[in-house]
Amino acid sequence: MSMQCQERHMPLRKRIVFYLLAFLISTVFSPAAAAAAAPAALLKIADPGPALSRSLAAAGAVVVQELNSCLLVYAPLPALPRLRAQGVTFTVIAYPRDNVSFFLLYSEHDAPLFSRKGAIQCRLLEDRIWLCWTTAADFRKNLAPPFRLKALSLSSAPAPAAFAAVPDKESYQIALQAGPLLAGLAAQVAVERLRADILALQNFKTRFASTPQCEAAGDFILGRFRQIGLTAASDPFTFESRYQSKNILAVIPGQVAPELMVLACAHYDSTGNNPLISAPGADDNASGTAAVLEMARILAKERFDFSIGLLCVSAEEWGLYGSAHYADRALRNGDKIIAVINLDMIAYPGDRQRVLDVIGNRQSEWLADLFIAVAQPLVELRLAKVINSSLSWSDHSSFWDRGYAALCGIENSINPYYHRSSDMLDTLDLGFATEAVQASLAVVAALAQPISTPAAPIGLRARSQVSASLFSSLKTVYLEWQANREPVSGYHVFRSDKSHGPYLRLSEQPIVATAFRDSLLLPGQNYYYVLTAVDEQGRESNYSAEVRDDENNR
């Protein structure tokens, strides 16, 4: 499937005419363009140069959406000449006003709207992907089904490291070291538990966000977490200014660094062609919700270095509102989310193939590689890595937008009952779902690091100093940490120039001291460090939490 930006192959003269026409048409007919005093613009940047993120940051512009072939950028108007002066090529798509809502739309129709007269505007950004904006509350009436919608939040997103180089294939020694333990956890996934929870969720008849039945389903999930013995809470939010729903979060607190969290998530709301009456949503997404509940049941009995969050979100089908609400606050609070595993439709493998797609963006490719390295040996279904930032139609994308690493696990097949009253338990393959849960559970556990002996070191701090001489300047990094409580023979220090490794071990023998100096480093580069402890029997711990070299610089 080609995902190229549409105008890339147009000859120059045609392109000029196209832009002139597009400009005239949008000026005359677009309600957004009528706001001459609009303080900001939405830009499409098809060809991001290497220095783009610096130019955007300097101009106060943010990336709203990363697609395979272009970026959608929100920029204050005074920044436009500055961006142009820095050689950034862009097209202005719209001038947002306060009461206009923006959506990303996926539609397989040539014209996604029933009528051009409706109070919604759409511009094609990429193959089948449109930017739409509207002031109308009932704009969905004018969209030709089926479609996928994502509400865009224009100003809260940080600029992700867009179009970064694809990282090398990596090995994940510590995660793989826990292999037998992970296999033991995966073996506990019970198909009968998945069946019972999918059936219970289907029996709400509809879980369309805004209905009382959806709220009751949220209460059911909260009750299930508490029944398992976890601390859980409901987190209400408002969407599209007038509807209410809630996310449900349960946490298994980490033993070594509880502030670091691995998140498993799934949306529990559903939709269909008559969603107020009937939207059983067994595959979409009672299957993912049941997976999160089953992971909670099994993982709650174990102890991990880092916290595990089990998150069931709502209003995904309206435009990913629940996950955006959660990820927005996480970003504001500076939450340290190591990784997000989102499961959405994991129980309909189709006739021939048994493939679970593992979808990531470029920044999350390390996570997709780790997922497959850890989980593929445990399951027979095939795990297929897909790196495609345009696949933004589920909750993982709310985390991508805010700079977090996230994956979506999803069946690689077309479910003919998708968004219909016939999306029922009896159409599902629970054997396939069981394997999908086993794979995801093993990865969540590996990332959270099952407690090992000796304990992983804590309290690692780093600061760095650049010393310049006449001919060169070099960086020195100073590390210090707390001594383990139990007797250890020493510590190993590891470094990487990328967050999450792969790490290079710097110490030949375990270091007895609780400090380390790493010198002769490049001044313009950031470095990432972790530690392990080695006990008197020579057993090595899990990695400590990672630190960046300049984290404690003043």
What are the residues binding Zn ion (CB under 5 A)? Answer: 284-285, 344
Say how far apart CA 307 and CA 303 lie, in whole Å.
9
Cβ proximity of 507 and 518 under 8 Å: no
Choose between 80 and 279: whose C-beta lies nearer to Zn ion: 279
Choose between 344 and 540: whose C-beta lies nearer to Zn ion: 344
CB of 262 to Zn ion, least distance (A): 21
The β-bridge partners of 380 are: none
CB of 394 to Zn ion, least distance (A): 6
Say how far apart CA 285 and CA 281 lie, in whole Å.
6
Choose between 53 and 323: whose C-beta lies nearer to Zn ion: 323
Give SS3 for 59. Answer: helix
Q: What is the DSSP string of 350-375?
A: -SS--EEEEEE-GGGHHHHHHHHHHH
Choose between 285 and 464: whose C-beta lies nearer to Zn ion: 285
CB of 414 to Zn ion, least distance (A): 14
Closest CA to 487 of 527, 441, 541: 541
**Six-digit token string for 398:** 């709310």
DSSP 206: B
Choose between 285 and 438: whose C-beta lies nearer to Zn ion: 285
Q: How many helices (H) and strands (E) does the chain have?
A: 13, 23
Choose between 410 and 441: whose C-beta lies nearer to Zn ion: 410
CB of 284 to Zn ion, least distance (A): 4
CB of 128 to Zn ion, least distance (A): 18
The edge-to-edge listing of strands for the beta sheet with 488-496 is: 504-505, 488-496, 528-535, 547-548
Inter-CA distances, 275 with 204, 255, 316, 346, Å:
12, 43, 14, 21
Q: In this structure, how many other beta carbons lie within 10 angstroms of the beta carbon of residue 200?
A: 17
Cβ proximity of 94 and 42 under 8 Å: yes
* Residue-wise burial string across 304-327, b where 16 or more C-beta atoms lie within 10 A, e elsewhere: bbbbbbbbbbbbbbbbbbbbbbbb
Please enumerate in sequence order all residues whose Cβ is within 8 A of that of 357, keeping only pairs 6 or more positions apart, or say none.
Answer: 384, 386, 408, 409, 410, 411, 412
Closest CA to 40 of 73, 67, 83, 71: 73
Choose between 285 and 323: whose C-beta lies nearer to Zn ion: 285
Choose between 411 and 535: whose C-beta lies nearer to Zn ion: 411
Choose between 279 and 337: whose C-beta lies nearer to Zn ion: 279
CB of 268 to Zn ion, least distance (A): 10
Say how far apart CA 91 and CA 73 lie, in whole Å.
10
CB of 144 to Zn ion, least distance (A): 20
CB of 191 to Zn ion, least distance (A): 21
Pairing of strands 355-360, 382-387: parallel
Choose between 284 and 540: whose C-beta lies nearer to Zn ion: 284
Say how far apart CA 361 and CA 340 lie, in whole Å.
12
Say how far apart CA 489 and CA 537 lie, in whole Å.
8
Choose between 284 and 549: whose C-beta lies nearer to Zn ion: 284
Please enumerate in sequence order all residues whose Cβ is within 8 A of that of 45, keeping only pairs 6 or more positions apart, or say none.
Answer: 52, 70, 71, 73, 88, 89, 90
Is-cis flag, bond preceding 203, omega within 30?
no
Choose between 197 and 344: whose C-beta lies nearer to Zn ion: 344
CB of 168 to Zn ion, least distance (A): 33
Say how far apart CA 132 and CA 470 lie, in whole Å.
56
Please enumerate in sequence order all residues whose Cβ is within 8 A of that of 24, keeping only pairs 6 or more positions apart, or say none.
Answer: none
CB of 288 to Zn ion, least distance (A): 7
Cβ proximity of 264 and 254 under 8 Å: no
CB of 98 to Zn ion, least distance (A): 30
DSSP 452: -
CB of 395 to Zn ion, least distance (A): 8
Choose between 53 and 285: whose C-beta lies nearer to Zn ion: 285
CB of 319 to Zn ion, least distance (A): 12
Cβ proximity of 474 and 521 under 8 Å: yes
CB of 528 to Zn ion, least distance (A): 34
Choose between 282 and 383: whose C-beta lies nearer to Zn ion: 282
